[in-house]
Amino acid sequence: MREQRETVDVVIAGGGTAGHVAAIQAGRAGVKVSLIEASSMLGGTMTDGGVFMPNHWHSPRQAVVQGIGWELFKQSKEVEGLRIKPMTERRAVDTPGYYSNINVPIYATLAEQAALEAGVEIHYHEFIGEVHQDGNEWEVISFARGIKRITRCKELIDCSGDADVVRALGRPVDKARARQPGTLQYRIEGIDMQQVWEGEAQKIYDEAMEKGELEKGDWAYFGIYPFLWYLQMGGHNATHIYGCDTSDADGQTAANIEGRKRMLRMFEFVRDRIPGAERAVLKQMYTRALSREGCRVIGEHVVTLDEFMAAVPYDDAVCNAFNYIDLHNEDNGCEEIFHESEELIPTVPFRALMPKDTSRLLVAGRILSADRKSLAGIRAQCTCMAMGQAVGAAAALAVQSGRASRDVPVADIVALTVENGAVPLH
């Protein structure tokens, strides 16, 4: 194994929904960034995970999150030759906001190009192994095929999705015994929906469940939507993996195997049993099963459900969050909790992105310091991108000012993100 030693200003663990934006923001601010990503592309759940629906940029009343994520989204639509409909032409009926699909190959490539243009060093197929603090610097040991990389840096950001850095340091995390189900994304095409009758399809599904031909979770939202919804979506984002835990390789392997087994069972059922689906084709499967909830960092502040639902104004808010909760479960598929008013826009406090009693270490994404139910709202992809941009700005400003990121004035963090397109906070 070849050993490589590097020195940078900022190391970011994970190039997913939060991490790729954090890297671009820090790089654009003028610091040297190393981005360590375990998969083969940037974007995380949006790209190689197949949840290609960054939501929500807008509420019915205002822009909620924009910034670098929105910039990349707009660029991807321009490459596709598609017009982005303004919020005045959208109708928020099912939820208080709008779903906006991306083209995965285009978005992932544009994100990569933006990172490289910002001077970011990208290391794909690489995992964090050990992390040590040496005075005001970090030593990060990562592993890839044939490579042991030892990187020294001044600021460290954990966007791994499972708190890999925080756990490597032995810092406390909260991991609920009962977690939200995970999923494996796939797509069934070729169903002739003109031949599908809602009542008949539902009866066929119900009979298959009664006979044990299908299992609970093969169709995720059995308690809140008719089976017709599964057919309309072609199975996309419509299967649950119970007990999904991707915090280590064994858990990821088990989730992948379970997800693919459920996928194949559902495809064969749909093709063989549903009138109109005889020519159905299992067209696409994404590379890995996804967890909606894993380890949550114990931070300087823990966002609570009450705070989230009341949109409590924080003195140290660094970005907006969206205003409803989407808590997946085994009982009926999903619990949705809506705010009393569309005008209530929660925010994310900087303290929730600081692991407790640490310095020069920040986190972003679904591992932030929050209780389970508030996390189910904050984990939305656009909010994760906004958190990533905030911590990328904080780390860059810390390096440039010679202080720890936790001591950077929040007003300076927000100002830098706004300079890069983020929504101003009020």
Predicted local distance difference test score (pLDDT) of residue 366: 95
Q: Among 93-102, 123-132, 165-174, where is mean pLDDT lowest?
A: 93-102
pLDDT tens per residue across span 341-357: 888 999 999 999 999 99
Question: Cα–Cα–Cα angle for 255, 258, 264, nearest 5°?
Answer: 135
Q: Band of the pLDDT at 86, cuts 50, 70, 90?
A: confident
Q: Band of the pLDDT at 61, cuts 50, 70, 90?
A: confident
Predicted local distance difference test score (pLDDT) of residue 324: 87
Predicted local distance difference test score (pLDDT) of residue 179: 87
Q: Among 15-29, 105-119, 324-338, where is mean pLDDT lowest?
A: 324-338
Strand, helix or coil for residue 32: coil
Residue pointed to by tokens 């820090």:
26
Give the H/E segment covering residue 204.
Answer: helix 198-210
**Mean of the per-residue pLDDT values of the chain:** 95
pLDDT at 94 over 90: no
Topology of the domain comprising 2-177+294-419? FAD/NAD(P)-binding domain (3.50.50)
Burial class (CB in 10 A: 0-12, 13-18, 19+), 381: buried
Q: Band of the pLDDT at 16, cuts 50, 70, 90?
A: very high
Residues contacting residue 207 through CB under 8 Å, at least 6 positions apart: none
**Rg of the chain over all Cα atoms, to the nearest angstrom:** 21
Whole-number Å distance between alpha carbons of 55 and 45: 12
Nearest to 173 by CA among 233, 232, 245, 273: 245
pLDDT at 104 over 90: yes
Q: What percent of the chain is predicted at pLDDT more than 70?
A: 100
Contact call for residues 154 and 136 (beta carbons, < 8 A): yes
Nearest to 386 by CA among 31, 72, 110, 117: 72
Contact call for residues 389 and 318 (beta carbons, < 8 A): no
Beta-ladder partners of 141: 130, 150
Whole-number Å distance between alpha carbons of 384 and 161: 10
User: Token pair of 293, please?
Assistant: 């909830």
pLDDT at 93 over 80: no
Predicted local distance difference test score (pLDDT) of residue 117: 98
Predicted local distance difference test score (pLDDT) of residue 283: 94
Predicted local distance difference test score (pLDDT) of residue 97: 78
Per-residue DSSP letter, 89: G
Q: Band of the pLDDT at 98, cuts 50, 70, 90?
A: confident
Burial class (CB in 10 A: 0-12, 13-18, 19+), 402: exposed
| Domain parsing of the chain, residue ranges | 2-177+294-419, 186-285
pLDDT tens per residue across span 206-221: 999 999 999 999 999 9
Predicted local distance difference test score (pLDDT) of residue 370: 97
Beta-ladder partners of 3: 148
Whole-number Å distance between alpha carbons of 26 and 71: 16
User: Token pair of 220, please?
Assistant: 């995720």
Predicted local distance difference test score (pLDDT) of residue 412: 98
Question: Cα–Cα–Cα angle for 245, 249, 250, nearest 5°?
Answer: 70
pLDDT tens per residue across span 147-169: 999 999 999 999 999 999 999 99
Q: What average pLDDT score do residues 190-196 get?
A: 97
Per-residue DSSP letter, 151: E
pLDDT tens per residue across span 251-297: 999 999 999 999 999 999 999 999 999 999 999 999 999 999 989 99
